[in-house]
Amino acid sequence: MLDDAGLRALREAARLSPENLPLRQHLAGQLLAMGYLAEAEAEYRAALVLAPKNADITAGLAEAFVRQSAYGAALAALEPLLASPGYPPKLGVLAARALLAEGDTARAAHRYHDAVSRDPSVGDADLAARLSAPPVPASPYPAPAPAPAYPAAESVPASPYPAPAPAPAPAYVAAGSAPAYPAHPTYPAHPAPTPAPAYPAAGSPPPDGAEVERAGLSFADVAGMEAVKEALRIKLLLPLQQPELFAAYGKRAGGGVLLYGPPGAGKTHLARAAAGELGAAFVNVGLADILDMYIGSSERNLRATFEMARRNRPCVLFFDEVDALAARRSDMRQAHTRQLVNQFLAELDGVDQKANEGVLVLAATNAPWYVDVAFRRPGRLDQPVFVPPPDAAARAAILRILCRDKPLAEMDFDAVARATEHCVGADLKGVVDRAVEAKLQQSIRAGRPIPLSTPDLLAAAQTVRPTAVREWMSTARNYVMHANDSGAWDELMPWVKRKW
Ligand code: ADP
């Protein structure tokens, strides 16, 4: 793989010879291999403009999408090529990955087995195993938010290049990972095009009445993030607490805030705490709870969810991974999903002035660049708030909160904070959980509770490998540097300039 200087030289060469297809393709491949996914995507798009039918380039683009969890975009890129009967089998495997991530196991299995039956060398044991795992039952509410479907290529603002008409060719199957297609009991070599939804039946009841939480948290339970908390106080809490004052200036309580930042940095935690701070109900909506393969069901689910929030006002309605929904608007693969997004926007706008009074919509995303601009219009999720990774002081404070109900020796949380650079809240929770588990075993052996100590946390910290922030910053850097004409990502500028 290239080092940084090599990559710089390659970028410069491509910049000087923008029409040199092999060079651009090489650069794109290097970027992909090095994990600069958004930039790889932009390069592949540019290359596709030069060679619209090139299968390898399309495959590279699709892989860049898949690795950014932009499954809808990957499928949109692959689809034109998959439509022809002689499509390169490796493309089918790539599509299977995206379909599986979207929860469409049946189509994923069909794609995979069709591809492998034509060319066993493209098989992927890991994927085959995941396809054969029993489908996750369609969960009602508290399910962890599932693999999102993302934007069609055209809606991805990342690249300065026009969205190309894609063409395929594979890339995704990890080299060497492909033993011949293991005959799978569940999926015979030539499966009939199965439907077989892991989805609720069309007539299943909407997720109404479920999971209205009373959050036992407040901002005191959120360590650090003072600027973020202050922003939420001004944007959400004060209008609700002092409506008269805001009315005097022609402002209404309501509307929404889009929380964005690296995964695990505390967006959900913060939303829950905001609800508690307000004494409001909290409704946590994973998009899996809403999206449904049957036309009309998703709309019903969405309406029911908003109605539930309105019945429980004041209420914080939290949509996690909102980019999955936002992206669908331009996803032409399924016209009805556009309808769903339009309905989401209509619900956000409220049928009348008072419809959403006392309903605060918080949405979270790790990929704000995929959120359709329509979502960010005034009165909708018009207030993006960056939830940053914690600095050392914030990490120490998070650790203190996470440990506060445990038997503790004298603790040096600052030392642990220093040893957990680049860790986000979720990583720190992992550190504490791991240390507690080890301590519990010791205590069981000793027959008495042994308090948790600094060395325990330091030992557990050694075992975590925080990579999410670095990757996230690297993607963000590409958007800040290359797709920030509107200034939407200005807030990120000082963050992405740091070394991560
Ligand atoms: P995100 O929604 O950004 O992916 P979460 O809110 O799920 O992240 O954070 C994961 C966990 O990390 C939370 O459940 C919480 O225990 C912990 N956590 C994250 N940030 C903080 C914080 N600032 N203070 C206290 N705990 C935090």
Query: pLDDT tens digits, residue range 423-460?
Result: 999 999 999 999 999 999 999 999 988 999 999 999 99
Which ligand 1 atom is at minimum distance from the Cα of 266? Answer: 6
Residue nearest to atom 17 of ligand 1 (CA): 425
Q: Whose CA is nearest to atom 10 of ligand 1?
A: 426
| Gap from CA of 464 to ligand 1 centroid (Å) | 16
Q: What is the mean pLDDT of residues 42-71?
A: 86
Q: Which two tokens stand for residue 60?
A: 């590279």
The mean pLDDT value for 86-96 works out to 89
pTM of the complete model: 0.60
Q: What is the average per-residue pLDDT within 85-104? A: 87
Q: Name the residue with the closest Cα to ligand 1, atom 11.
A: 426
Which segment of 82-86, 199-203, 250-254, 374-378 scores lowest on mean pLDDT?
A: 199-203
Kindly list the domain boundaries of the chain, sorted by start residue.
52-155, 212-386, 392-461
Distance (Å) from CA 170 to ligand 1 centroid? 37
Q: What is the pLDDT of residues 128-158, one digit of tens each?
A: 888 886 544 333 323 333 333 333 333 333 3
Ligand 1, atom 6: nearest CA belongs to which residue? 266
Q: Is it the case that residue 164 has pLDDT exceeding 60?
A: no
Of ligand 1's listed atoms, the one at least distance from the Cα of 387 is 3
As a whole number, mean pLDDT of residues 161-179 equals: 32
Of the candidates 307, 376, 388, which has an alpha carbon nearest to the alpha carbon of residue 345? 376
> How many other β-carbons are positioned within 10 Å of the β-carbon of residue 221?
16
Instruction: Please list the residues that pair with 256 across neighbouring strands.
Output: 361
Q: How far is the CA of 427 from the centre of ligand 1 (A)?
A: 9
> For position 263, what pLDDT does the model report?
92
Query: Which CATH number applies to 392-461: 1.10.8.60, 3.30.950.10, 1.10.3720.10, 3.10.20.90?
Result: 1.10.8.60
Instruction: Please report, to the nearest 10 degrees, the dihedral formed by the alpha carbons of residues 55, 60, 62, 66 taken in order.
Output: 150
Neighbours of 99 (CB within 10 A): 23
Ligand 1 atom with minimal separation from the 225 CA? 23
Q: Report the percent of the chain where pLDDT is more than 90.
A: 28
Pick the CATH number of 212-386 from 3.40.50.150, 3.40.50.880, 3.40.50.300, 1.10.150.240: 3.40.50.300
Query: Does pLDDT of 160 surpass 70?
Result: no
pLDDT at 436: 95
Which of 228, 229, 269, 386 should be mutated for ligand 1, with most atoms under 8 A from CB? 269
Q: What is the pLDDT of residue 143?
A: 32
Ligand 1 atom index nearest CA of 262: 3
Q: How far is the CA of 71 from the centre of ligand 1 (A)?
A: 26
Buried b / exposed e over 284-317, threshold 16 CB at 10 Å, is: bbbbbbbbbbeeebbbbbbbbbbebbbebbbbbb
Ligand 1 pocket (Cβ < 6 Å) reads 222-225, 263-269, 364, 398, 401, 425-426, 429
How many A from CA of 109 to the centre of ligand 1?
Answer: 35
Sequence-distant (≥ 6) Cβ neighbours of residue 383 within 8 angstroms:
231, 235, 255, 256, 257, 258
Report which protein residue has its CA nearest ligand 1's atom 27: 425
Measure 259 CA to ligand 1 centroid, in angstroms: 13
Q: What is the pLDDT of residue 255?
A: 65
Triad 59, 70, 12: Cα angle to 5°: 60
Per-chain mean pLDDT for the chain = 77
Tell me which residue of 98, 129, 87, 92 sits closest to 112, measured CA to CA.
92
Task: Give pLDDT, residue 347.
Answer: 87
Q: Given this model, what pLDDT does residue 238 score?
A: 77
Bridge partners, 316 (sequence order):
282, 360
pLDDT band at 254, cuts 50/70/90? low
Tell me, in angstroms, the distance from the centre of ligand 1 to residue 425's CA.
5
CATH architecture of 52-155: Alpha Horseshoe (1.25)
**What's the confidence (pLDDT) of residue 383?**
76
List the residue whose alpha carbon is closest to atom 9 of ligand 1: 266
Question: 285 C-alpha vs ligand 1 centroid, how far in Å?
Answer: 17
According to the model, what pLDDT value does residue 209 have?
A: 39
Q: Is residue 166 pLDDT above 50, yes or no?
A: no
Average pLDDT over every residue of 398-417: 93
Distance (Å) from CA 426 to ligand 1 centroid = 5
Atom 5 (ligand 1): residue with closest C-alpha? 266
Alpha-helix residue ranges (DSSP H) falling in 350-418: 392-403, 413-418
CB-count exposure of residue 69 (10 Å: 0-12, 13-18, 19+): buried
Q: Which atom of ligand 1 lies at the shortest distance from residue 259's CA?
A: 3
Q: Which residue(s) pair with 319 in the sheet?
A: 285, 363
Instruction: Report how far ligand 1's centroid is from the alpha carbon of 234 (Å).
Output: 21
Arithmetic mean of pLDDT, 233-238: 78
pLDDT at 328: 43
Banded model confidence at residue 34, pLDDT cuts 50, 70, 90? confident
- State yes or no: pLDDT of 286 exceeds 50: yes
Section 477-487 average pLDDT: 84
> In whole angstroms, what is the distance from residue 99 CA to residue 147 CA?
10
pLDDT digits (tens, 9 = 90+) for 358-388: 888 999 999 888 887 778 777 788 778 999 9
- Ranges 32-36, 215-219, 289-293, 343-347: which has the least confidence: 289-293
